[in-house]
Amino acid sequence: MTALDQHVAAVPLVDHHVHGAFTVELERAEFEGHLNEGSPDPIPPWMTQFDSQLGFAVRRWCAPVLDLPAHAPADEYWKRRTELGVGEVTRRFLGDAGVSDWIVDTGHATGSLLGVHGIESASGGRAHEVVRLEALAEELARENVTGRDYADAFTARLSARTENAVGTKSILAYRTGFDIDLTAPEPAEVVQAASRWLDSGGERLDDEVLIRFGLHAAIARGLPLQLHTGLGDRDLDLRRVNPLHLMDFLRSVPDVPVLLLHCYPYHREAGYLAQAFPNVHFDVGLGINHTGVRSAAVVAESFELAPFAKQLYSSDAWGPPELHYLGALLWRRAVAATFGRWVADGDWSEADARRVVDLVARDNARRVYQL
């Protein structure tokens, strides 16, 4: 183990985009379903989702955390996991991730998930909140706001809910895609769109006008804005969430930090945007866990155009706490291997490598979110 490896292993991470871990026991089929990001369907009977890069990485790296040998068979893994129970499993994975700060999106399916405080107790780290804009709109709809009051109510609620938050997040990727007009709508349009949406039940927000309104309300609030880009559940259209579609929007909001999340397979495009716009940052979050051993290649590709002050670490873990741990482990492994090779070949100095590790692991996030 080189000194650089030791440094990478020891650096406390800021996981700048993460969700809660499950608080309830799962069936195995559910667990396997959560190892598949793209499909909401059951895993077909002729396959197991353990037979994937993520599944292999779970068996390789998570099994030892549960006292099993590396590469333990899926059945044994499942048996041991059940035996230990959700509380112990969660404490182990969150505690061993080496994360000092979790920046938590609390807006998605929170019923059976740890909240900000639960993450803190289970992990021993600090947790900070990010407010999901579309969830906030849907919350207002459930409270019977009127179309005429929607804009003010949204702004007031955003202001209140972000009092102790460190950022906001939009999932317009899932609702409209990026290839639409992303300018701020006129007030009259907002009234009209809100009335229409609320009249139709105010369920899942996919109205373009209200989503654009939410985005610009968040920009006006001034907190760092996270945007889901690239891979995700197939109710998005991957082609339409290429972050390059955001160039006009990014040109229009130079004063607020924007964080492009995940980005895979558009992480090179994201790196370009992070060079081209002083306020744009990015991560390769979700892509790390889901590509397993190949995350080394994805991480290496993410160190091309973007200045080193513009990339952050995240796991985008949601649900199984394996993901909170594995994201950190695979990122450390990828960075140690990639930077280690550059140092060994004489392209980077070791001191520089350590400095870039610290920036991406921690310091960039601390600066952006003012932790």
Nearer to a second copy, 105 or 363 (CB): 363
**CB-neighbour burial class of residue 34 (10 A; exposed 0-12, middle 13-18, buried 19+):** middle
* Choices 77-85, 90-98, 320-328, 350-358; region in contact with a second copy by CB under 8 A: 350-358
To the nearest whole angstrom, how small is the minimum distance from the Cβ of residue 360 to a second copy?
11
CB 150 within 8 A of CB 167: no
Minimal CA–CA distance to 129: which of 244, 10, 16, 34? 16
To the nearest whole angstrom, how small is the minimum distance from the Cβ of residue 69 to a second copy?
10
Q: From residue 112, give the alpha-carbon distance in Å to each of 109, 175, 290.
A: 8, 24, 23
Nearer to a second copy, 53 or 155 (CB): 53
Minimal CA–CA distance to 170: which of 234, 119, 118, 241? 241
* Phi-psi group of 104: left, alpha or beta (phi > 0 → left; psi -120 to 50 → alpha; rest → beta): beta
To the nearest whole angstrom, how small is the minimum distance from the Cβ of residue 226 to a second copy?
19
Q: How far apart are CA 282 and CA 302, in angstroms?
A: 9
To the nearest whole angstrom, how small is the minimum distance from the Cβ of residue 308 to a second copy?
4
* Residues of this chain, 239-298, that bind a second copy according to CB under 8 A: 239, 242, 244-245, 247, 251, 254, 264-265, 268-269, 272-273, 275-278, 290-294, 297-298
- Binding of residue 46 to a second copy (CB under 8 A): yes
Nearer to a second copy, 9 or 47 (CB): 47
φ and ψ at residue 18, rounded to 5 degrees: -150, 160
- Residue from 301, 340, 358, 366 touching a second copy (CB under 8 A): that is 301
To the nearest whole angstrom, how small is the minimum distance from the Cβ of residue 217 to a second copy?
25
- Binding of residue 361 to a second copy (CB under 8 A): no
To the nearest whole angstrom, how small is the minimum distance from the Cβ of residue 301 to a second copy?
7
Q: How far apart are CA 85 and CA 113, in angstroms?
A: 15
Nearer to a second copy, 214 or 292 (CB): 292
* Residues of this chain, 135-194, that bind a second copy according to CB under 8 A: none
Query: Under rule CB under 8 A, how many of the chain's residues touch a second copy?
Result: 71
- Binding of residue 116 to a second copy (CB under 8 A): no
- Residue from 118, 120, 303, 358 touching a second copy (CB under 8 A): that is 303
Binding mask 54-83 for a second copy (x = CB under 8 A): -xxx--x---------xx------------
To the nearest whole angstrom, how small is the minimum distance from the Cβ of residue 198 to a second copy?
28
Q: Given the DSSP bridges, would you call strands 126-132 and 13-18 parallel, antiparallel or unpaired?
A: unpaired
Minimal CA–CA distance to 130: which of 115, 113, 151, 150? 115
- Binding of residue 204 to a second copy (CB under 8 A): no
- Residue from 9, 10, 29, 51 touching a second copy (CB under 8 A): that is 51
What b/e string do you get for 272-299 counting C-beta neighbours within 10 Å, with b at 16 or more?
bbbeebebbbbbbbbbbbbbbeebbebb
Degrees (nearest 5) of the Cα angle 47, 52, 55? 100
- Residue from 12, 30, 36, 139 touching a second copy (CB under 8 A): that is 36
Count of CB atoms situated within 10 Å of the CB of 300: 16
Sign, Cα dihedral of 138, 141, 143, 147: positive
- Binding of residue 47 to a second copy (CB under 8 A): yes
- Binding of residue 29 to a second copy (CB under 8 A): no
- Binding of residue 52 to a second copy (CB under 8 A): yes
Nearer to a second copy, 44 or 201 (CB): 44
φ and ψ at residue 255, rounded to 5 degrees: -105, 0
